[in-house]
Every structure is written in C-alpha cells, then in structure tokens.
A and B are shown apart, each in its own frame.
Chain A
Amino acid sequence: MILTLRIWRQKHARDKGRFETYEMKGVSPDMSFLEMLDVLSDSLVDRGEDALTFDNDCREGICGMCSLTINGVPHGPDQGGTVCQLHMRRYKEGDTITIEPWRVSPFPVLKDLAVDRSAFDRIIQAGGYITTNAGSAVDANAILVPRADAETAMDAAACIGCGACAASCPNGSAMLFVAAKVSHLAHLPQGAPERAQRVLSMVSQMDQEGFGNCTNHSECEAVCPKEINVSHIAKINREFIRAAVKSIF
C-alpha cells in the first residue's frame, strides 16, 4: 500500500511544533502500526534526518507506553487495543493518516510524539496503594474475596496507565484512570482501612495536576484499550461522597 502520513514533529518541549507530511510506500497489511513507523523512521535516518520519536516498549498492548492519537482518536480505530496492537490491514491504499501525541495539558510534549505522563505516577503516589510492608501479610486464603468482587476489581485493575482516557476527554479529565485504581482497591477487603483517605488524596492530586472534571462524555471508555467501564467513575463518585461526608463527622 501507499499511504500519506501527517505526523506531528516537535524538536523539544519549548518548540512550537508542526505537522510534516510523508509519503509511505510498500506498507504491508501484516505490519503493525508501530512497525510502519519504524520503517519510516529508519528511512529518515538514511536520509540524515532526525529519527521519529514515539514511546513504545512491549509492543503487545500491556506496558502502556505507546501513546499516539490517530486521526483524532487515541490508540486509533480498533476498539479495546493499544496502538502497538493495531495492524495495517485496517487501512487501504491511498489513505491519509494524521498522527499526533496525546493532547492534554498535564501531559506536556517532550519531543515529536512522546509526552511526559509523570502526573499519573504522582496520583498513584498520593494514595493508589495498600499500606503493607513485605513480610507482614497473613496467609493468602485467610482473606476471602467473593468471586464477583474479585472479578470487578480485576476489571478495574486492568488499567495500563497509558493516558488515552485523559487524552480523549473534552475536559482533559483523568477520572477513568483515577476511578480504576480507587474502584479496584475499594472492591477488595484488603483496601478497606485506607478506603476514605485514598479517594480524597488521589482526587486532590488529580486536581493539582491540572486535569479537568468529568461531565460524563464517556469518550474515555470508548478509547480505553482495556475497555474499562465508566461505571467505575460512578463508583469513585460514591466513594468520594462517602469519604467526604465521613471526614466532616
């Protein structure tokens, strides 16, 4: 296939950035999207130009590092997958594809298509954990968890922290990311002692990082590579109200 790629190029964080257009020949339908970018980047190096910078690592949809907005949609057209899992058989001869980084202000662009997502790490550091030192645990089967609760917790825990939710949200909200962690731990008895403090601290950090509020657009669920349901946002809202009321009395 021959494709036209419009790709965001930006030299560094302070550069204004612009789209560059590349004609891409010999694209095989069996290539992954990132392999196509590898080929393009290699050809740029051959011509003596700067390689194309884009974050990626595992290339099997689980590490959460890849982060491209394709034709306006984080992770591209396939439902329930990351951009590294997207294959070129999704496209046809002559297509024009626009490739941008995540577009949300708490994730500043570092170079080309790579952004800084440390805001997500700081939200987890604020409370996205259970306080338990190595060696302090009771026997694993001493804590019984109803299967349905374990499954719901797992649904939420599947989050890979890629940031597509925030990148897709018209408000630039990170609610689905924060909700996934709060809901995961709130569904397990191990998470109960810190339940109230956790949601308050994480939401407060999310606000400090400059993420917007949730107004139920559900764009996040539509692009989430792990198909995390917005019902977890309903859960975090209940958790937040519960904790906030509790903190008054």
Chain B
Amino acid sequence: MKLDAKIPSGPMAGKWEKRKFEGKLVNPSNKRKYNIIVVGSGLAGGGAAASLGELGYNVDCFCFQDSSRRAHSIAAQGGINAAKNYQNDGDSVYRLFYDTVKGGDFRSREANVHRLAEVSAAIIDQCVAMGVPFAREYGGTLANRSFGGAQVSRTFYARGQTGQQLLLGVYSALSRQIGAGQVRMHPRTEMLDLVVVDGHAKGIVTRDLITGKIESWAADAVVLATGGYGPVFYLSTNAVGNNVTAAYRAHKKGALFANPCYTQIHPTCIPLSGDHQSKLTLMSESLRNDGRIWVPKKQGDTRTPGDIPDAERDYYLERMYPSFGNLAPRDISSRAAKRACDEGRGVGPGRLGVYLDFRDALSRLGDDTIRQRYDNLFDMYERITGENAYNMPMRIYPAIHYTMGGLWVDYDLMSNVPGLYVLGEANFSDHGANRLGASALMQGLADGCFVIPYTIAEYLAGTAPGEVGTDHDEFKKSQNEVSDRIRALLSVNGKRSATSFHRELGLLMWEKCGMARNEAGLKSALEMIPALREEFWENVKVTGSGNDLNSELERAGRVADFLEFGELLVTDAITREESCGGHFREEYQTEEGEAMRDDENFSFVGAWEYTGETPILHKENLEFEEVHLAVRSYK
C-alpha cells in the first residue's frame, strides 16, 4: 500500500489556497442530496456537523453522552492559540507554524500544520461571532496570555473554562442546525462498527444505549471525530467514558492507525491519592505562567514547603531551561519532574509530586489578580486535596492527557478508506510527537469548521448520492458481528469486572509504556497484554442484559477494544527506536537526559494496517521544506 498524503505542490504558504481553488465543489442544490454521518460532537465533530449542516448537507451526528454538549473538549481549561498578533509581539502565521512543528519534535506533516496556523485567526473571529465570552481588556479588545512552547502571547481564553465556552459555542451552532432539521442528533448512541462497501466507507452500525437496539445507518461519507485513546492507560485526565472503540473498529475495517505510541503526558496534574481513583485531574498549564516549579535540593526532605528556604530549593526548570523556564513544553517538563522524583526529591504522599508555587506571584500581583486569572483552578485543587494553594504550594505530577497518534489521514483529512474522514484528536496529523498547549482546541475547530467543509466536497462530487442503502449485505454482516460480540460479552460469566481488567491494563501500560520506555519493558508488555486479553474473554463478568441501559456492557466492550489496541501501541513504541516528543525511549537519550531523535531512520509516520495477526507497518516519509530539522532546544 502506498500512502499518498496528497499534499498540494508549490510554496508552503500557497498550498491551502491552491487546494481550495483546485478542489471540486458540490453545487448548493445538490448538497441536500448527500447524507453525511458525523460520529462525535466535540469541537471537531460538533463543528463539522454544524458547518456541514450550514452548507446544506443532510447530517446525522452521534454521541455516546446524553447530550452533544458533554463532549470532552469541554474540559480544556487554558486556551486556544491563534496567530492574530493582537499583542504586537512578533507573532505571525509562520511563527505559529514554526512553533508547532518544532513543538511536535519534527514528526508532524508540515503542510497540515501550516494550514492549521493559517485558519487559526478565522477560528477566533468565528467564536467571537458565536458569542464566546473570551477575556477582554478594559478597552473592549480581546486579551491574550502566553503558553508553553511559545515566546509570544497568542492564547485566547475564557477564564479557566476555554474549552467549555468553545464547545458551548459549537453546541449552539449545532443546536441551530438541529432545530432547523438539517442535522439529526443521536445522543446516547455508540458507534460499534464502520461499514465498508467496495472499499468505500458507506455507513456505521450503532447501539442505542437506552434500548440496546443495534441499528444500521447508511451515508455517502462518514466523519469520525471520536477523540483520543488516553484511557488505554486507565488513569488519565480524560473523561471516564472516552474510548478508542469507534477509531479501533474503523481500523479493523481497513483504516490505518498512525503513530499510536505518541502519547502526551501533562506535567501539571493532581497526584494520585489511592487505588480507588478513577481519573486524574489536570490543572491547566496556564498556571505555569505564574507558578514556579521546584523540589527540595536535598533527597527525602520532609520539611513543610514553607520551611524550606530559597537556597535549598531547586527550581529545576528555570535552572535547566533558562529561556523558557517554567513554560518549557509538556514532554520536557514532565520528564524533568519524573527525574526529580526518581532522584528521591519528590514531595507529598508516595513522594510522587513536585511543587507548583504561587508565593512569588501572590506577593507580586496580589490575591485578587491571581484569583481573577485562575479562579476555578484553585477551587478545584482544594476540593480534591483539601489544601489551599493560596497558603501553600500545589503538588503536581505528570499524567496521561492527550494522544497525538490516531487514524492516518491525507491532507484532506481522509483516511486510506475512501469516504472516511477523521478529525481532531482522533487523527494523527498536526501535533507530531508532542502537542503544544492550547493547540488541541485550535485543531478541533480548524478541522471541523474550516477544513472538512472544503475537502469533503472533493470526494462527494465524485460519488452518486445514496448509492448504498442499509439493505446491503455488508450492513447485515456488520450488524450480526456486533450482536454476536455483545452476546459473547454477556455470556462469559466469569469472575472479574471489566473495570478490574481495565485497571490492570492501564497500570501495565503506564509502567511499561508510559513516560519512559525501554525495549525490555516493551517486550514484556507484548507478552502480558495478550495474556490479559485471553483472561478477559474467559473470566470477565458482565451482568444485566443487552436490551437496556447497561453501563457494565458498554464498559466491557470498550475495555475489550483497549486490550487489542494496547498491543498495537506497544508494538509501535518498540518499533520506533528513537526518542521524540512524548515517546521517550531510555536507550536513546543524551548525557543530560534529553530525547535523542534519529532523523535519518525514523523521520516517518508509522501507519499500521490491521491483519488479524502481526500488523503491517506502512511508512509515510516526512519531508521538511520550511523548518530546518534541529535538536529541539528550549535552553
């Protein structure tokens, strides 16, 4: 299989213009003849469903939550990047592009990233028009803050709830289309299979989560915007319902899965408190604008933080990366925290934590300013830990937060299965091996509102509308497979809950394939995962029936997919014999412990084909025309 990214020729800055001009169009009166399925209702999916509805296409949108407003985009706190240069501080489309390619450790596709930077400004315009209440200056203009991995202030924000406000903007646009009858929304409905007819994506099979009904839906194109796979690690900052099922079922139907080993660890999460824990809570990275990160210089220092004088504190990010300091990118900050804890200088219960200290900012700016900036974050911290961060430093530790890998897509965001598009966190294209802060919201909205409306026309223009209906044999076959699998899950009747398997898989993934990975650990994981999967299918216990609301059954289905997908993730990690971004192989590091890339041998996208046995690796070579490959330095 040859992977053709279909990147337009010509200079970088003109590629998107060229693509938009050369792409085929569907004329306005023909648009209503086409049906499009959108799975997921976050910024990417909700944005796509609304925008495609606005254009006049018939859209069916699906989500597993009780309303499209619950998608996990809602939880993003800090902000959204855009190359507006409202601060007059030297920002530009080119700089955002450059920062994002560099931040991604030179493992993303330049042309996609450039387009992302180009459309970023239009996103802010659109959000303001939709009524998103961004933070403002006294003169009424928009305010900005700075974020990790950048030296300009280009992040727009709405207190600590930027994701919520953007998602509610998208939700309102989507609601308008639902009210107008242009989009039909199907909440509490889970996609359980992709239907491919003669090589083209023609629909999906779903389960109604209230009645258990298995149903087929035919369409002329299918858009997946189903988010990332962070919960393969069980504990992550993701919502507990987030899962890889839709993407993985598409993978089993032929879509290539790219770079699954690129997982992002977020440096500022609240440390673990016990075995009962179901998720880890993120404290926005924006806190690093005013908080200073430190650990005691001495190992095993048990004094309370207030008793440790400055001379005995190690502000290690400021020391090691003087020009970026506490704003060093996520992967670098996370590994530095791990190193400090590995050296025995961690703080708090279990010594798995570092301090994020606001003492200096509070005395410089006062409580009120800090309250205005971080309002809900300090509250959230106190609710979970019982500690007040105005009086003592927060304790933070890295946690799984975002997954850069995802289904392979070309420049048009179409997978290798014609008619199947993949947007947002579910695809792989824009963040390389590491995503910069405030870029996920940007990508979701870019893909959903400003890319797919253009690129999907190219495919539809060459497709006769309504060619395949749900009476096609492939739908029946797929429905039978889905029903059989549900029956199988219900009939194992073993002794362990799906959650207990999930927890065991997550711990294994975190230990063997988490913040740092090595060949021996990865090899052992490749033995442990299939064994755990085997036990799952012999010993899982799913109570209740398949014909009603059954959260145990939903969970078991998702865990079963994680148990297959985890193996693919580890396979990718073992194959990539270099360190880059979120993928840190201990064998490949500099003497100072920095990641060592191998551009000669690994400057490619690793896209895996499902075979039922050993997956086949396809490579898309990455060519860098604009950004000079360099050691990523934030010193």
Contact = CB atoms under 8 A, between A and B. Distances in A.
A190 B128 contact: yes
Interface string B589-621: 000000000000000000000000000000000
Interface bracket on B: 35 or more
A84 to B, nearest CB: 9
Interface stretch (B66-74, B195-203, B298-306, B390-398): B66-74
A64 to B, nearest CB: 6
Contact of B240 (A50, A57, A85, A131): A57
Contacts of B159: 154
Nearest to A78: B383
Given A85-B383, A141-B142, A130 B274 contact: no
Contacts of A62: 74-75, 161, 163-164
B457 to A, nearest CB: 14
Contacts of B131: 129-130, 153, 157, 184-185, 188, 190-191
A87 B276 contact: no
A242 B543 CA distance: 55
Interface stretch (B106-114, B459-467, B510-518, B549-557): B549-557
A116 B75 CA distance: 22
Interface in A39-82: 39, 42, 44-46, 48-51, 53, 55-65, 78, 80-81
A53 B135 contact: no
Interface string B117-137: 000001011111111011111
A174 B84 CA distance: 39
A60 B133 contact: no
Nearest to B449: A134
B140 A58 contact: no
A174 B399 CA distance: 38
B544 A51 contact: yes
Nearest to A131: B176
A42 B126 contact: no
Contacts of A87: 383-384, 386
Contacts of A238: none
B133 A184 contact: yes
Contacts of A57: 65, 70, 72, 239-241
Given A34-B278, A134-B50, A49 B380 contact: no
B543 A132 contact: no
Contacts of A136: 126, 129
B403 interface: no
A114 B549 contact: yes
A128 B68 CA distance: 14
A58 B165 CA distance: 16
B176 A129 contact: yes
A191 B131 CA distance: 7
B141 interface: yes
Interface string A132-158: 111111111101111100100110011
Interface string B479-504: 00000000000000001010110000
A30 interface: yes
Nearest to B139: A144
B54 interface: yes
B345 to A, nearest CB: 24
B497 A42 contact: yes
Interface stretch (B166-174, B431-439, B529-537, B560-568): B166-174
Contacts of B241: 57
Given A58-B72, A62-B75, A150-B136, A38 B279 contact: no
Nearest to B448: A134
B438 to A, nearest CB: 16
A45 B551 CA distance: 11
Contacts of A55: 66
Interface string B42-75: 0000010011001000000000011111111011
A120 interface: yes
Contact of A60 (B138, B274, B279, B450): B279
A12 interface: yes
A135 B67 contact: no
A85 B380 contact: yes
Given A45-B497, A49-B543, A65-B70, A28 B276 contact: yes
Contacts of B384: 32, 85, 87
B541 interface: yes
A61 B129 contact: no
Given A125-B176, A137-B129, A65 B136 contact: no
A111 B545 CA distance: 13
Contacts of B173: 129, 132, 134
A124 interface: yes
A117 interface: yes
Contacts of B128: 137, 140, 143, 190
B548 interface: yes
B245 interface: no
A89 to B, nearest CB: 6
B350 interface: no
Contacts of B176: 125, 129, 131
A128 B137 CA distance: 26
A128 B172 CA distance: 6
A138 B549 contact: no
A32 B277 CA distance: 8
Contacts of B158: 154, 157
B310 interface: no
B161 A51 contact: no
A234 interface: no
Interface string B212-241: 000000000000000000000000000111
Contacts of B134: 140, 150
A56 B126 CA distance: 30
Nearest to A187: B133
Contact of A147 (B75, B137, B453, B541): B137
Contacts of B500: 42
B398 to A, nearest CB: 17
B379 interface: yes
A135 B122 contact: yes
Given A57-B239, A161-B69, A111 B549 contact: yes
Contacts of A24: none
Contact of A124 (B74, B172, B239): B172
A208 to B, nearest CB: 13
Contacts of A114: 66, 549
23 contacts: A34-B278, A38-B499, A46-B495, A59-B240, A60-B75, A60-B281, A65-B66, A81-B379, A81-B383, A87-B383, A89-B386, A114-B66, A125-B179, A129-B175, A129-B176, A134-B126, A135-B453, A136-B129, A138-B129, A143-B128, A145-B140, A154-B133, A191-B131
Given A59-B239, A157-B133, 4 more contacts: A116-B66, A121-B68, A125-B176, A141-B142
Top 7 nearest A-B pairs by Cβ distance? Answer: A144-B140, A129-B172, A125-B179, A137-B129, A137-B125, A154-B133, A30-B273
